[in-house]
Every structure is written in C-alpha cells, then in structure tokens.
Structure 1
Amino acid sequence: MKVIMFYHSLLSDWNHGNAHFLRGIATELQKRHHQVQVFEPENGWSLSNLTQQYGETKIQEFSKYYPNLKTNFYRPETLDLDKTLQDADLVIVHEWNDHDLVKRIGEHRKNSDYKLLFHDTHHRALTERESMSQYDLSNYDGVLAFGEVIRNIYLEENWTTRAWAWHEAADHNVFYPRTKDSFDGDLVWIGNWGDEERTAELHEFLLKPVKELGLRAKVYGVRYPKHALKALADAGIQYGGWLPNYMVPEVFARYKVTVHVPRRPYAEALPGIPTIRPFEAMACGIPLISAPWEDSENLFRPGRDFLVARNGEEMKQHLKWVLTDQRKALDLVCNGRKVINRHHTCSHRIHELKTICKELGIAHDKIYNPTHSSAHQKATV
C-alpha cells in the first residue's frame, strides 16, 4: 500500500506524545515494504519549541535513531492535494490537524479511490465535544479511536458511521530492556506537567510518597510552571527537563521503578485508555506502579503486569515493596514484558490496521503482499 499520514509532527515529541506511536507505526509499515509518507505543517508549534530551545542538533539526533523515517513539510495555503495524494491507497488524518485541512482532504476523497481514516488519540471528544463536532468527516471512511469509549462517542454523536478501537502501543524497535549495570536512583517519572489536569494526583501519587520515603528520584518533561518546580525541589526530586522519547529506554534502565499518573479525564471518564506511557514502560522492563484507572477493555492484568495504588499511602507501600523485594520486582518486569510482546506492540497494531483495510475493500495484494503488488503495478504501467 501507499500510505499517506497527516500528523502534527514526526520529528518532534516536545509535548507531543502522538509522535511516539506514529514513529512506531511508520517503521512497521516500512518493514512490511509499504510506501509511507508523513506530512507535517511547516513551523508546527512542537518542532518550533524544540528547535528554539535545542537548535537543530535534536533533529540530527532523531535521524540516528530513525534513519529510515523522513517527514514532508507543507504550508496549508500551498498544499496541492492532487499531487500529495496521487496513487495513495490509504490516507490517515490525525485529529490535531486544522478543521479546514480535515475538510479539504475529505472533499478530495469524493473523487478519489483511496480510503480515508480520521485518527483520534485525545480526550477532546469527551471534554471539548463542540470543537470536535466541527470536524467534517462526512467523506471519511471511518475513525480510528484509541479506545472503545472514544469510538462509541463518534458513533453516538453521528460524527461517523464506522469506527474502530485502535489503541496506542509500544514501538518495540526502540522500547526494549537495556543492560542495567548500575542505577542513578530509585524512581523516575517521565511526563509533562501540562494544564493542571493532574496536579493533585501528582502530589498524592508521586511527590509525597517520594518525599516521605526519602527516595532518590528524577522527573523529566516540559511545561513545568514555577510552582511545580518548587514542589519538586521540596520533595527532593531532581528535574531533568525535556527528554527525547527515543532516549527513554536508556533512562528507564538507570532506575528501579516508575509510576503512571493518568490525567484526570482519563482516570475519571475514559476507562480503558491508559495512554502510551505504560506500554512503553512495561516494554522496557521497569516495574510500573499506577495511580487508579479502569482497565475496562482488559488490556492488562492489574496486580500482575503492574501494580495499582488506590491512594498515596498505598503507593508508598507498593514502592517500598518493589524496591526491597527483588523477586516481586522481577515478576512485574517479566509479566509486563510478556503482555506487551504478546498483544501491545506497533506490530500488533499494524495487524489490526490491515484487518481494517480489508474491511474497507483495499486490494488483498496491496495489504498483504506489497512487494508483489508494486512489481505488478510497474509491469502494467
């Protein structure tokens, strides 16, 4: 297949978690000999913030980790869809794109043969319904939603007539255990402070337990206001700033445990959606302890693949347990890695995407034997 993908950024994961999954999916499609082209807006805010703070060095570093992934920059006012989408079989448009672009691509689809999908990986379908309802998906073939609850919203609101749950997953080409020769500390947390959606939870499940247990801990992420940096310092936690996602496995290997603190919309109103961080942590073989979230889709085995702390005091007890009981820690690591390797890698998601493509009517040879299909196309041109 020739797959065209419109996302906010492939190159930058500065406050842009969707880049994690996109990189893994694009890599897996390429490994299966599909043609992949990713388009991102020129001067997008994530890449702009990255280059303003770190220069071009991180873009060069990205190429070392992902030598086969390239991006295509565009300006909305000069984007030629006839040229861009020529010979496409599948086009995927992410929900961080502007309403006008989403509509334009849909209008283009009316007179084309490719299949067109909208990809939603955020809680805005629940928390900002009015804005999400403004996306014109009338000419789209369906929606890829990163959880059943989001999928059901699209169907119940009649924003689309077809939708599939397509969870995020770990890019196992990058996220796998590294050798652990020594440790820099006890606990590491990687996440952005953001829009105060989990401030109370971070205090309860991260800062307070670390302080009371006297753990050596470090936090990485962006958008930490002054009061957040002060709270980290008061808890004795080091702040490491932004960390490129492709370097996360190396950092995980230098710590003994990590935690997951879901943002409030996911914990309270979007059961079944863990976001990508737990997938990546378990893939890297670091014990994971999570604040409460409801695994309504039975993705994991809570208590076996990771521990769940119902409150801050229970988080303290779990942390002490994992840090002092090596056998318990090893059990969590082994179970977590098994469930990821069996069900939740980007390779698994490509298998699911191929099934969706089959439902949409894309030719079997293009889906399952792209090398043969390409050769046939060249022979008949």
Structure 2
Amino acid sequence: MRIALFYHSLVSDWNNGNAHFLRGIASEIMARGHELVVYVPRGGWSVTNLIQHYGEGAVTAFQQRYPELANQEQEYTLADLDLERALDAVDLVIVHEWNAHELVQRIGEHRSRHRGYRLLFHDTHHRSFTDSQSMAAYDLQHYDGVLAFGEVIRDRYLTEGWAQQAWVWHEAADTRIFHPLDDRPREAEVVWVGNWGDEERTSELYEFLFDPVMEEQLRTNVYGVRYPQQAQAQLRERGITYRGWLENSRVPEVFARHCVTVHIPRRPYVEALPGIPTIRPFEALACKIPLVCTPWEDAEGLFTPGEDFLIARNGEEMRRCLREIINDRDRAAELASHGYRTLLGAHTCAHRVDELLSIYHELNVSHESQPHLRK
C-alpha cells in the first residue's frame, strides 16, 4: 500500500502530543512494508518553537532516534502543494484535524475526482466540543469517514451530521520506544511529564501534584513546556525541580529513574469527553511505572482502575496513593505489572494499525460493491 498522511509535524513534539502517536503509527506501517509519506506545513509552529528554544540539534536527535522516519516528512505550503502529484497512485490518505480548512477541502475535492483511494479525517482533540463552530466548518462531504480517538467524539460527528461514517481509533503506545528499562539509580520519587495546558488544568495541577508532593516532602521532577514564570516560581517554592521540554523518546529512561508518575487530564476531557485518556497513560503503562490518575471516567472500559492504576479523587487521596506506591514495593510492582499486561494486550500502535487496515479493507469492500462501480 501507498499511504499519505497530512499532519502538523512528525519531527517535533514541542507542545504537539499528536506527534507521539503519529511516530508510532508511521513506524509500524513502514515495518509492515507499506510506503509512507507525511506531509507537514512548512514553518509549522511546533518545529519553529523547537528550533527556537533548543536548536537544530533537536531535529538531529529525532533523526538519530527514528532513522526509519528521518526522510518521510515532506514540507509544503498551501500555495505550492500539488495534490495531483502528492496523491498520485496512493491507496489511503489520512488528514489530521489540525490542518487548515482550505487543505481539508482541497483534498476532499481531489478525492471527488479520483475515487481510487480511501480518505479519512483524524480527530485527536477536544475541539469538537470546545470549538464546535470551527469543526463544523471542515468540509468532509467527500471523505470516507472519521477516525475519532473516543466514542464520544465519534458520536459527535454522526449526530451533528459532520460525517456519514466514523470509527473509534484510540491513541496507543509505541512499544518500540516505550517499554520497561532496567532499574536505574533513583533520581526522585515522583515525575510528571506534561505541558502547562492553557489554564485547562491549572487548579488540578496544584491540588493533585504540586501541593501533595510538597506536603509529603517527595522529590519531584516536572517536565513540559509553556510553564509561565509564575508557575516555575511556585514549583521552586515547593521544592519541585522544573526541567523543561523532554523529547518524547527520552521519557522511558526518565520513568525508569522514578518510583511513580501521575496523569492529570485536561478539564475538557473530564467534563465533556469521558472515555478518552489521551496518550500519556498508555505510554506510562508501557514503561511499567506505577501510575496514579486524577478522576476520569473510563466509559469505554479500556482499563481496570485500581488494578492497572490508582485513582485519586482529591489531594488527600493523591497523598495516600503516592505514599502507598513509594512505601510498598510489592504493591507498586503488582500495579505496574497489571497495567503493563493490559497495555500489551490491547493498546499498542500495532493494535491500532491492525484496526486501521481493517477499516481500510471494510471501505474497499463497500466501495467495490457500489452499483456504479460494478463491471
């Protein structure tokens, strides 16, 4: 198969969590012998910020870490993008929802003239609920359907009439990168890997992480970008070390030097999008580090709370959960092992590529059975 993907950035994960999943999916697709190209906008904000803050060396590090993906990214501008050439002889095209409305429409119009490939729209964000006007403006009339990273988003597309078909396609862990590492010297007890979040979880970070680790006097490292100076000062006052951006492929080695990590979802996922954990818990479980989550409703039954990870409903429960994991090594190992088995059983990028190919073949059968295509 020849597959074309239109996303924001493969190279940069600076404030671009979607790059985690994209890299895993792209690596798995290529490992199965398919041809792949990832089209990205020239001068995209993620790679621009990455180079501005960390230099060209950060791009070189990506190329060294993902040699199979080093030459798969093709930059374009809307003015010079030649879709006739880009989509010549492709079998499957996936367009991510961070793309410009104009691009989404142009690809759809190309599909209306060239029926030989399948075309899918991929939604991995909460904007279908928090910015529905913008999402409704995407012209998907010529798309075969939508890949949504949760049931609630899939249902949104169908009930609003934005798409005729939609499938659930959760994110997952790239187990080529995310896997347990041998015990490393402990650097601290707690680690949090996550960006500041545009005020979508500020109070939750204080209640469930910053204050509990200060009260328990736990050595804690925080990684992520866009932390304002005031927040960094608050971390220093609590004895928490802020370490800035962490290239995603280095997360497993960081996890291996800590006892426990925490997942604090953004507020829209808790309030409007039950069942969507985002990619961080998948990656933590794949690394076999004990995980404590703040409340989110696992409406789709992806995990077993209490066995795959612990749930802390408030700051006091977070303190108890962290103490339990740090002080009871057998309990910590049991929790980590159960979560790891669950992850390997259903939530790897290999599972997601299986699902994608199943959808592709389903669409091909449907396409070939249309009366106007019968020979």
TM-score, structure 2 normalization: 0.96
2:83 counterpart of 1:81: yes
- Residue identity over aligned pairs, in percent, reads 58
Alpha-carbon distance in 2 for matches of 1:278, 1:227: 27
2:17 counterpart of 1:17: yes
Alpha-carbon distance in 2 for matches of 1:138, 1:169: 28
- From 118, 124, 131, the counterpart of 1:128: 131
Opposite residue 254 of structure 2, the aligned amino acid is V
What is the CA distance between 1:362 and its match in structure 2?
6.5
Alpha-carbon distance in 2 for matches of 1:201, 1:269: 16
2:252 counterpart of 1:253: no
Alpha-carbon distance in 1 for matches of 2:57, 2:351: 33
- Deviation sequence 1:126-160 (CA, Å, 0-9, x none): 11000110000001000000000000000000000
Q: State the partner residue of 1:312.
A: 315
Q: State the partner residue of 1:230.
A: 233
- Deviation sequence 1:23-78 (CA, Å, 0-9, x none): 00000001110111101011000000001111111111111111010211111100
Alpha-carbon distance in 1 for matches of 2:365, 2:57: 40
2:156 counterpart of 1:153: yes
Q: State the partner residue of 2:209.
A: 206
What is the CA distance between 1:181 and its match in structure 2?
2.9
Opposite residue 107 of structure 1, the aligned amino acid is E
Opposite residue 353 of structure 1, the aligned amino acid is L
Q: State the partner residue of 1:93.
A: 95
Q: Which runs of 5+ in 2 are unaligned?
A: 367-375
Alpha-carbon distance in 2 for matches of 1:38, 1:195: 28
360 and 243 in structure 1: CA distance in 2 versus 1, 3 angstrom threshold: same
Alpha-carbon distance in 1 for matches of 2:180, 2:284: 9
Q: State the partner residue of 1:65.
A: 65
Q: State the partner residue of 1:370.
A: none
What is the CA distance between 1:194 and its match in structure 2?
2.2
Q: State the partner residue of 1:171.
A: 174
SS at match of 2:355: helix
Given that residues 178 and 284 in structure 1 are in contact (C-alpha distance below 8 angstroms), is that contact kept between their aligned partners in structure 2?
yes
Given that residues 186 and 255 in structure 1 are in contact (C-alpha distance below 8 angstroms), is that contact kept between their aligned partners in structure 2?
yes
Q: State the partner residue of 2:337.
A: 334
Q: Which runs of 5+ in 1 are unaligned?
A: 364-381
Given that residues 111 and 142 in structure 2 are in contact (C-alpha distance below 8 angstroms), is that contact kept between their aligned partners in structure 1?
yes
Opposite residue 54 of structure 1, the aligned amino acid is Y
- Deviation sequence 1:175-215 (CA, Å, 0-9, x none): 00111131000000000002100011000000010000000
Opposite residue 9 of structure 1, the aligned amino acid is S
Opposite residue 85 of structure 2, the aligned amino acid is K
2:309 counterpart of 1:293: no
Q: State the partner residue of 2:26.
A: 26
Opposite residue 94 of structure 2, the aligned amino acid is I
Kindly report structure 1 stretches of 4+ aligned residues shifted beyond 4 Å: none
2:117 counterpart of 1:119: no
SS at match of 2:158: helix
- How many residue pairs are counted as aligned between the two chains? 364
Given that residues 89 and 362 in structure 1 are in contact (C-alpha distance below 8 angstroms), is that contact kept between their aligned partners in structure 2?
no
TM-score, structure 1 normalization: 0.94
Alpha-carbon distance in 2 for matches of 1:71, 1:246: 18
- Deviation sequence 1:271-320 (CA, Å, 0-9, x none): 00000000000000110000000000000000000000011100000000
